Structure 1
Amino acid sequence: MPGVRPAAWHTPAVALNEIDERIVHALAADARRSYADIGSEVGLSAPAVKRRVDRLLAAGAITGFTVRVDPVALGWQTEALVELYCRHNTSPADIRRGLAHYPEVASASTVTGDADAVVQVFAADVRHFEQVLERIAGEPFVSRTRSVLVLSPLLRRYGAAGPS
């Protein structure tokens, strides 16, 4: 990545064993499940599941609980992926700070290849996307962009990585 300095990886302070992984997968599939329900699946009592979840939260292995909402339900009809090409010595923190104030930005990641970062953008329509793209392209750390509109999302996985 020509213009981006690498960031340090965050490593949780705890290694997940098989039961921890099963608990994480259960929560990733449905964070509203009760500890008793998860416990019956993994062979632990509800208090034992709660202790493990608390430990995983404290260690940073679980970073929070959330709800997934279809962007279309919120009026975001258009999705795009934007490659950012950054000016020399732009840090990932600079990119994060520069994009954080855009409610249309769903995710941003530094990447390998010619681009420095890839940004997932949701907008009400193509005109709205164009306005957002122009604002992002005008950020001081951006030298140029390249974007593609998503026609049909084919596969999306959320939560714990890997198969359950």
Structure 2
Amino acid sequence: MDAIDEAIVRCVVHNARATYAEIGTAAGLSASAAKRRLDRLVATGAIRGFTALIDPQALAWNTEAFVEVFCTGNPTPAELCQALKDIPEVVEACTVSGAADAVVHMLARDIPHLERAIQRVRSTAPVQRTESAIVLSRLLNRPRV
């Protein structure tokens, strides 16, 4: 990935709906050249998709938590992902080093909704127990490049 590709990526991270002309301007290319480069980034998997970022408060999901997940046995990351993917309150999950096997980022309407969602996480096959930290305020939230 060169500097032009990085400029294209920065542009679509900032605005996934940017036109080819806008992408080209950001990267110093014509619209048609920007389209070719963007298509190549998608074809090679450097860009895996385009998405809309929804403000959780627009959905009235104002309660946020980070949940450490401790598993029984030694499930693979794919097995843990399979266990968590159908829980809509789980918005992100990562395997981690340390005592926990994974950390799960969860969103919910309120504490009772969060509690039910954490209970669903606990009831999945590989999960033995969880430890939760409820977010009080979000200090910084940057788009990922």
Give me the TM-score of the superposition, normalised by structure 1: 0.86
Matched, 1:144 2:129: yes
Counterpart of 1:155 in structure 2 is 140
In the alignment of these two chains, the number of paired residues is 145
Deviation at 1:134, TM superposition (A): 1.2
The partner residue of 2:19 within 34, 46, 66 is 34
Unaligned runs of 5+ in 1: 1-15
1:60 aligns with 2:45: yes
Determine the structure 2 residue equivalent to 1:9.
Answer: none
1:131 aligns with 2:104: no
- Specify the alignment match of 2:55 in structure 1: 70
Q: 1:92 aligns with which of 64, 77, 89?
A: 77
4+ residue segments displaced more than 2 Å: none
CA distance in 2, matches of 1:80, 1:121: 5
Matched, 1:22 2:22: no
Matched, 1:47 2:32: yes
2:65 corresponds in structure 1 to 80
Q: Deviation at 1:52? A: 0.5
Amino acid at match of 1:159: R
The answer on whether the counterparts of 2:87 and 2:120 sit within 8 Å (CA) in structure 1 is no
Whether 2:102 is the aligned partner of 1:117: answer yes
Question: C-alpha displacement at 1:156, in angstroms?
Answer: 1.1
CA distance in 2, matches of 1:140, 1:76: 26
**1:61-96 CA distances to partner (integer Å, 9 max, x unpaired)?**
001111111101102110000000111221111110
Contact persistence 1:29–1:159 (CA under 8 A): no
CA distance in 1, matches of 2:105, 2:83: 14
SS class of match (1:93) = helix
CA shift at 1:24, angstroms? 0.3
- Tell me the C-alpha RMSD between the 2 structures: 0.9
The residue matched to 2:98 in structure 1 has which SS?
coil
Q: 1:103 matched to which residue of 2?
A: 88
Of structures 1 and 2, the one with the larger relative CO (CA 8 A, separation 6+) is 1
What is the rounded CA distance, in whole Å, between the counterparts of 2:25 and 2:118 in structure 1? 48
- Taking the aligned partners of 1:106 and 1:94, their CA distance within structure 2 comes to 17
The separation in 2 between residues aligned to 1:133 and 1:41, in whole angstroms, is 43
Report the Cα offset of residue 140 of structure 1.
1.5
For residue 159 of structure 1, report the CA deviation from its aligned partner. Answer: 3.2
Report % sequence identity: 49
Alpha-carbon shift at residue 158 of structure 1 (Å): 1.9
TM-score where L is the length of structure 2: 0.96
